[in-house]
Structure 1
Amino acid sequence: MLNLPPRISSRLNSSQFANLHTFLVAARHLSFARAAQELCLTASAVSHRINRLETALAIKLFKRMTRQVSLTDEGERIFEILQGAMGELSEALEHSSQADIAGPIALYVRPSVAQCWLVPRLADFVERYPLVSLDLRVGNDNVDFRTRNIDLALYYANGEFPGLTSMRLMQERLAPVCSPEYAQRHRLQEDPYNLRHCITLHDSLAWDHAAFDAEWTLWAEQHQMLTALPKRTLTFDRCDLSVTAAMNHAGIAIGREQLVQKHVQSSELVLPFGGFSQCGHYDYYLVHPPQNTVPKRLQVFMNWLRECAQHTAL
């Protein structure tokens, strides 16, 4: 329910609801021009609607600058109330039976997690919930939920997400991996310090603000192997690409157990220095904006992800 304070709700009438919707879109984009594109209006029409709403409510909703706008404190408060009300309305309109759970879910995922862990499992979700439409988007940046219309993100991170709701989905462990031929050629299982003659393969964007060699450094520090790290490197912006390079004898990569274990089991990759180990505090997290009521379609999807994670628990 839209629980506006009495002094605000008393100033609302039926003509203002279109203006409230315009404000909601403009506040999400923090741009009258982008709001106009979404609403099929002109930027001037968006500005006029916001002005009429501000006049009716006697509240300044936006700070207007030369080329951008930002929300005032009151505007931020009204935006949060409206977002919550829209979420509750969407939930109320959904059918109660699980068989009728329907609607879109926009999911943002790191590319390697999507490629190696999530996408191979999606057939099961599609079969269980045929009326849910999943919009999968990938990238290496932390997504702006307000401007990108994302419902849920799946991150490889340290669990710090200020202002957002998060839940650890599954743990991750690391170990160097390479092809059997590469390990034999460099005699890595005979002497771990032969690593210094190798080429290390790096995911240079392992997590937000990570150094290009962050995962190798974590592993080497834990195993007292920093002095053995070679200077020759190849870097990629995805973990799965570095692992693919390792499978094709280009060097030795840091493998994440959740993403490479099938290749180890098939002997496409070997662990020349022993098994996987917990390095640092980087795991997989489900992240979304705070909501009073999580839509049922999102609840069942998150429950399904947890079920998948339990089946692959370390």
Structure 2
Amino acid sequence: MQLPKLTGSVLSGLHCFLIAADQMSFTRAAEILCLTQSAVSHKIKNLEDSLGVQLFVRQPRKLLLTEEGKRLKTVVAQNFGDIAHELRDLKTLELSGDLNVSVPPTFAQTWLLPRLKHFIDKYPALRFHLRTRNGLVDFQTESFDCAIYFGHGKYQGLHSEKLMDESMIPVCSPQYAQEYQLYGHPENLMTCMLLHDAAPWARAGRNDEWQYWAQTNGLQLPDNSCSFDRADLALQAAQNGLGVAMGRRSFIAEQIRDGRLVMPFDMAVTSPLSYYVVCRQDGMASPRIKAFQQWLLDEIAEF
């Protein structure tokens, strides 16, 4: 079947054909389209002439689709459905479609998830899809709308907006701090087990956070260590008395507040990296991404 150019007449005929094929009646199609039965019949005949194929077998009291008609109905129904979905998104400023977001695991668990209901309540028609990973997203091959990165903010070919800075400080259980006499004595870390997040940011080494903190404070670190592939696991191990973990302010606020973790010395260091929302260069034209970014900034302002 050789399709003609998609002129207004052909598109109108395809819409009329789809309704008639669904109803299997020119009369019922005419009622739905607010046309006369003869007008529907005329549109279908013009479409058949344009395509050069017969779409319906017309019987006295019944319509049947030809094989060509069945094929065309499948294609037109799928594509008209996609068009209708996109038009619905455009009409509502795209705030009723899907929003696919990649987020670092611990940031998702400790900071984003406790607040996510606020976003869902604000935009109830959005379908939010969260996936976690420590690595970077390939926006060319993966279907993410945006991602939250903990990094330097410079990503070739991508648009990034800074969300917030971060600070780091060692934390442990109150019992561990007492046992190893850590209160006010950072030099006693040499006798402790250090708990590492093995992937604190993309392409980081397993002890990069601890090394940066120690160098900034002019301290030596012990060799005794244990590493985890997620920061929340290292923090959980610290709560359970295994050792001392490097805590980020955004991760440890609740545990510090309720006493599960303590900061045995006041030696916080500003992280060299920050949190960014990242998307394709044209991504900020999307109202969905704009809405998510603005919501993040509003929540951070209250943090």
Please give the TM-score of this superposition, normalised by the length of structure 2. 0.69
Cα distance in structure 2, aligned partners of 1:293 and 1:153:
12
Offset of residue 292 of structure 1: 7.0
Contact persistence 1:91–1:295 (CA under 8 A): no
Cα distance in structure 2, aligned partners of 1:215 and 1:231:
15
Contact persistence 2:193–2:224 (CA under 8 A): yes
**Letter aligned with residue 94 of structure 1:** L
Q: Which residue in 2 is equivalent to 1:233? A: 225
Cα distance in structure 2, aligned partners of 1:293 and 1:167:
10
Contact persistence 1:95–1:101 (CA under 8 A): no
Q: Which residue in 2 is equivalent to 1:176? A: 170
Offset of residue 277 of structure 1: 2.5
Cα distance in structure 1, aligned partners of 2:183 and 2:279:
44
Cα distance in structure 2, aligned partners of 1:205 and 1:95:
42
Unpaired runs of 5+ residues, structure 2, are 8-84
Does residue 1:266 correspond to 2:235, yes or no? no
Provide Cα deviations, 1:57-88, integer angstroms capped at 9, x if missing partner: xxxxxxxxxxxxxxxxxxxxxxxxxxxxxxxx
Cα distance change on mapping 1:230 and 1:131 into 2, 3 Å: same
Cα distance in structure 1, aligned partners of 2:297 and 2:218:
35
**Letter aligned with residue 113 of structure 1:** F
- Which of the residues 259, 279, 286 maps onto 2:277? 286
3-state secondary structure, aligned to 1:282: strand
**Letter aligned with residue 282 of structure 2:** Q
Cα distance change on mapping 1:269 and 1:219 into 2, 3 Å: same
Number of positions where the alignment pairs a residue of Structure 1 with one of Structure 2: 224
1:1-314 aligned at under 5 Å gives the runs 14=6, 93-96=89-92, 101-225=95-219, 227=220, 229-279=221-271, 281-291=272-282, 294-312=285-303
Runs of 4+, deviation exceeding 4 Å: 89-93
Cα distance in structure 2, aligned partners of 1:153 and 1:91:
26
Cα distance in structure 2, aligned partners of 1:258 and 1:118:
10
**Letter aligned with residue 171 of structure 1:** D
Contact persistence 2:283–2:289 (CA under 8 A): no
Offset of residue 94 of structure 1: 1.6
Cα distance in structure 1, aligned partners of 2:182 and 2:144:
44
Cα distance in structure 2, aligned partners of 1:190 and 1:123:
40
Contact persistence 2:195–2:225 (CA under 8 A): yes
Cα distance change on mapping 1:293 and 1:138 into 2, 3 Å: closer
3-state secondary structure, aligned to 2:183: coil
Cα distance in structure 2, aligned partners of 1:285 and 1:92:
30
Offset of residue 96 of structure 1: 4.8
| Larger radius of gyration between Structure 1 and Structure 2 | 2
Unpaired runs of 5+ residues, structure 1, are 1-12, 16-88
Cα distance change on mapping 1:293 and 1:274 into 2, 3 Å: closer
Offset of residue 148 of structure 1: 1.3
